């Protein structure tokens, strides 16, 4: 099992739409696809703020500043299988507010596995996330998105995603 410290972001454009990456695990095509919050593991000595700035640049080609990254008010632990390996993530979720309207996502900085896993993106209105029957990671995103955006601290119970 690989245990990691992870940061994810609810990235909001100026119109309040949320960036989600369309993802898959090519080693497990039978589980289908899902929409996930951008983010990833912290490098040794890296803060959650530095990690999400780096991850957004790598995964989406977005340049954000530390001033755009909010506090990690959503905490969660999750486990899932990924490319044949069990992962245990200790995650925080931060808001990231952009001053522009739905910037293009550029995956040119993605590492090899990200380029295989992420095959699309979408800027979702919050209400559509809340009402959607799609699969999301984190799984309870539709239920917890509005409380998170309202500033409520969230200490989510353990999620066994797959």
Find the Cα–Cα–Cα–Cα dihedral 70, 75, 80, 86, rounded to 10°.
100
Average pLDDT over residues 119-145: 97
Contacts (Cβ under 8 Å, ≥6 apart) of 88: 1, 2, 3, 4, 77, 78, 79
Residue 82 has pLDDT above 80, yes or no: yes
Start-to-end C-alpha separation, the chain: 14
Residue 35 has pLDDT above 90, yes or no: yes
Average pLDDT over residues 126-133: 98
Average pLDDT over residues 85-113: 89
DSSP-derived secondary structure for 145-157? HHHHHTT--EEPP
Among 151, 30, 10, smallest CA distance to 93 is for 10
Tell me what pLDDT residue 140 has.
97
Q: Which phi-psi region, left, alpha or beta, contains residue 39 (left: φ > 0; alpha: ψ -120 to 50)?
A: left
What percent of the chain has pLDDT above 90? Answer: 78
Residue 161 has pLDDT above 90, yes or no: no
Tell me what pLDDT residue 43 has.
95
SS3 28: coil
Q: How confident is the model at residue 49 (pLDDT cuts 50, 70, 90)?
A: very high
Average pLDDT over residues 62-77: 97
Which is higher by pLDDT, 30 or 139?
A: 139
Q: Is the pTM of this model over 0.85?
A: yes
Residue 47 has pLDDT above 90, yes or no: yes
Among 39, 32, 30, 47, smallest CA distance to 10 is for 39
Residue 93 has pLDDT above 80, yes or no: yes
């Amino acid at each position: 099992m690989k245990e990691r410290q992870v940061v994810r972001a609810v990235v909001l454009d100026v119109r309040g739409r949320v960036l989600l990456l369309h993802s898959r695990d090519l080693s497990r095509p039978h589980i289908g696809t899902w929409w996930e919050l951008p983010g990833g593991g912290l490098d040794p000595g890296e803060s959650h703020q530095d990690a999400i700035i780096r991850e957004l640049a790598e995964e989406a080609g977005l340049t954000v500043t530390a001033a755009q990254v909010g506090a990690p008010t959503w905490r969660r632990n999750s486990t899932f299988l990924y490319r044949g390996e069990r992962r245990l993530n200790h995650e925080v979720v931060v808001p990231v507010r952009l001053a522009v309207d739905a910037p293009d996502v550029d995956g040119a900085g993605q590492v090899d596995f990200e380029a295989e896993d992420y095959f699309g993106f979408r800027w979702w209105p919050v209400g559509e996330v809340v009402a959607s029957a799609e699969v999301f990671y984190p799984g309870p995103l539709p239920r917890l998105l509005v409380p998170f955006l309202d500033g409520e601290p969230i200490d989510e119970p353990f999620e066994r995603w797959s």
